[in-house]
Amino acid sequence: MPVRVVSKLDDDVAAKRVGQVAELLERNGINPSDIGRIRQVNLWQQGYKDDDGEGQVQDLVGVQLSPAWEEGPAWPLIDRAKPVKVAKERAKKTDTGIRTVAFIPDPQIGAHIVGDASQPDSIEIHPMQDEDALRVAVNMVADAQPDDIVFLGDWVDFADFSLKFARTPSMAHAGQYTIDQGHYWLAQFVAAAPNANATFLAGNHEARLGNLVVANAQAAWGLRKATEPPDSWPAMSVPYLLDTDSLGITYMPGYPANEVWLRDDIRAIHGLKLSAKAQAQATNSTVSTFFGHLHRLEAQTRTFRSDRGEAKHSISVSCGTLARIDGAVPSFHSATDERGRPVNVTEDWQQGLVFASFETGTRDLPQVELVPITDGSAVHRGKRYSAT
């Protein structure tokens, strides 16, 4: 049986050889930060005679290097979100028969990440979500203590997964940031109202992940971790990566068909390209609808005559956005400069969120509170909220 013998260099010899490598780089004008990978190191000895005719042995080092630019950008692995601990439940509220729902719209969490990965001090992160608006919304939810929280979708932007918009290099490394921040902000809302039923409606941006897998790696569709049960979420899915189960959030996939019913005449959807007015006029229905997608904060009530000649009412509410409205979110109007920074532009969007309250045993129209957030500040129920 062949035996491989590995000998260790003593400290003096190792230090001498490291010094030889450093000297070799310096003599050839090579900056260590420009090295992408060391391909091969050869060590050998060469005999020669000195000026006195004595035999000498010289250690020689040969190094094959790859320049950093040859390797291209370092693509980080994308992993499940780092878990955020959520506080235990508060005391249950007295049941008054009035149900309050907080509708949390479209933060489109993501980022443009600009800079040289080999120089961490040069990295700039330009978030797509408005963290001041999110903080104000969390504080309002904490005071309101709703019975339900409905996340209306487009919680994450996944700009780097888009098959529609151009994917700039600054978006290429934002996947892990998006997942970690997405989980973090979900946890903030759940912790703010720990007794609320929390539901997450998948939107068109959540659908981007599945669409990308099907378009580019169909064999990976539906793969689960080996130790997970058969009904668990696939590894390449939004609820798995955001770890919604650990937060007690019910994830509703299947955009655009998915919906949440809060009463038999009140529902929530992510939304389509319909304004509040168009949504209200789309059907002669007593169903009131709350939705996101448009990034507009508006409501439209409708009264119409039923087949029996009775007056019927409904309300359609577009719940705004918690994303930035200054061009950071990729859209038909946005752009980035040559370094990948978003260029400032004013979108006709409105930041805010919506609360709705209704009596569970009636079909009365819900009381709707549209709460605009402007520059990280809002007023709700007689109280000012500010992110600063």
Hunting for tokens 């479209």 — which residue is that? 106
Task: Map residue 378 onto helix, strand or coil.
Answer: strand
In which order are the strands placed within the sheet that holds 148-151? 249-252, 197-201, 148-151, 98-104, 352-359, 367-372
DSSP codes, 41-81: EEEEEEEEE-TTS-EEEEEEEEEEEEEHHHH----PPP-PP
Range(s) within the chain of domains with CATH label 3.60.21.10: 98-386
Give pLDDT, residue 64: 65
Give pLDDT, residue 108: 96
CB 327 within 8 A of CB 343: yes
Give pLDDT, residue 2: 44
CB 147 within 8 A of CB 99: yes
Please choose, from the candidates 300, 326, 324, 320, the residue with its C-alpha nearest in 3D space to the C-alpha of residue 371.
Answer: 320
Give pLDDT, residue 62: 64
What is the Cα–Cα distance from 258 to 253, expressed in whole angstroms? Answer: 6
Q: pLDDT (tens digit, 0 to 9) for every residue of the chain, 388 residues total?
A: 444 433 444 556 656 666 666 676 677 667 666 666 666 666 666 666 677 777 776 666 566 666 654 554 454 566 777 777 776 565 566 678 899 999 999 999 999 888 877 777 888 999 999 999 999 999 999 999 999 999 999 999 987 776 565 566 667 678 889 999 999 999 999 999 999 999 999 999 898 887 777 777 788 788 888 898 988 999 889 999 999 999 999 999 999 999 999 999 999 999 998 899 998 888 768 899 999 999 999 999 999 887 788 898 999 999 999 999 999 998 888 888 888 899 999 999 999 999 999 999 899 999 999 999 999 999 999 999 999 8
Q: Which two tokens stand for residue 50?
A: 């000195």
Hunting for tokens 């580019």 — which residue is that? 216
Task: Map residue 46 onto helix, strand or coil.
Answer: strand
Burial of 358 by CB count in 10 Å (0-12 exposed, 13-18 middle, 19+ buried)? Answer: buried
98-386: CATH number:
3.60.21.10
What is the Cα–Cα distance from 241 to 248, expressed in whole angstroms? Answer: 14
